[in-house]
A = this chain, B = another copy of it.
Amino acid sequence: MITRAELQLLRSLRDKRHREELGLYAVEGEKVVSELLAAGHPFESIYATPAWPGKATHPVTEEDMARASHFPTPSCVLAVGRLRRGELAPGELGHGLTLALDGVQDPGNVGTLIRIADWFGLARVVLSPGCADLHSQKVIQASMGSFARVRAVVAPLGAALAGAGVPVIGCALEGRDVRSLPALPDAVVVIGSEGRGISDEVRGLLSYAVTIPRLGAAESLNAAVAAAVVCDNLRRALG
């Protein structure tokens, strides 16, 4: 049974403001919760109906789940976790490859970018405060479990990049050919927002921009698609 207070808390977690206040987030759905548990992700509590094949800290009826759920069609499980409010350690960006997201607003793109960072074995993802919220259902779901594995930190990019001490490479429509990238064991790759690209503040901090050669007439590539091609080229250059 869910108490009235619990129900109110679970429902409130769909809003970023409440997540921040409470230091908690919620994620729903058998597939996504299973992926995260399989990756060893810790949850505070797992509310689940009898249809959930795993363990539940809070067994609930379907009626209660329907009242707690953020979805029109509720799933059998809703997991609550503690927000990760990690900060960048001093000098952290100096080690390994970082994907920096500068105002990427589509949560599906943010999740896919975290998945890409996981695939290519990057050290971390840094999200500017203007990005889609790291702890939203859509971001976590689109990451396909990579949310549990990738170190992701929200930080103002200007300050972080100014002291990075490593090459800061922007993905842009006008830049050096991405295939000419040198071997860079330590670097930051910046992905700009879908509509406006890289912000002026961050643009001023780039070591240089890279471009994926275009042979056709498409105006641009999707942010996640471009990031993957740049990561593949970086990894290839490292041999």
A148 (CB) vs chain B CBs: closest residue: B217
- A198 CB, min distance to chain B CBs, angstroms: 19
- A234 CB, min distance to chain B CBs, angstroms: 11
A214 touches B179 (CB 8 A): no
With beta carbons under 8 angstroms apart, the residue of B112, B120, B216, B232 that contacts A120 is: B216
Find residues 165-179 in chain A having any chain B CB closer than 8 Å to their own CB.
178-179
Instruction: Kindly state the separation between the CA atoms of A233 and B235 in the bound complex, as whole angstroms.
Output: 13
Using known A-B contacts A144-B220, A218-B145, determine if residue A116 contacts B213 with beta carbons closer than 8 Å.
Answer: no
B225 touches A112 (CB 8 A): yes
B218 touches A146 (CB 8 A): yes
Residue A117 lies at the interface, judged by CB distance under 8 Å to chain B: yes
A235 contacts which chain B residues (CB < 8 A)? 213, 215
Residue A191 lies at the interface, judged by CB distance under 8 Å to chain B: no
- A33 CB, min distance to chain B CBs, angstroms: 16
B228 touches A145 (CB 8 A): no
A230 (CB) vs chain B CBs: closest residue: B232
A224 contacts which chain B residues (CB < 8 A)? 222, 225
Number of interface residues of A (CB under 8 A): 37
Using known A-B contacts A224-B225, A225-B228, A228-B221, determine if residue A118 contacts B233 with beta carbons closer than 8 Å.
Answer: no
Contact with B along A67-102 (1 / 0, CB 8 A): 000000000000000000000000000000000000
Residue A236 lies at the interface, judged by CB distance under 8 Å to chain B: yes
Instruction: Kindly state the separation between the CA atoms of A149 and B224 in the bound complex, as whole angstroms.
Output: 22
Pairs A–B under 8 Å by Cβ, sample size 7: A144-B220, A149-B216, A213-B235, A225-B225, A225-B228, A228-B228, A232-B233
- Contacts from A to B (Cβ < 8 Å): 39, 112, 115-122, 144-146, 149-150, 178-179, 212-222, 224-226, 228-229, 232-233, 235-236
Given contacts A228-B228, A228-B229, 20 further A-B contacts (CB under 8 A): A112-B222, A115-B221, A116-B218, A116-B221, A116-B225, A118-B216, A119-B212, A119-B214, A119-B216, A120-B214, A120-B216, A121-B215, A121-B216, A122-B216, A150-B216, A178-B232, A179-B236, A221-B228, A222-B224, A224-B225
5 interchain residue pairs of minimum CB distance: A121-B215, A118-B218, A121-B216, A119-B218, A118-B216
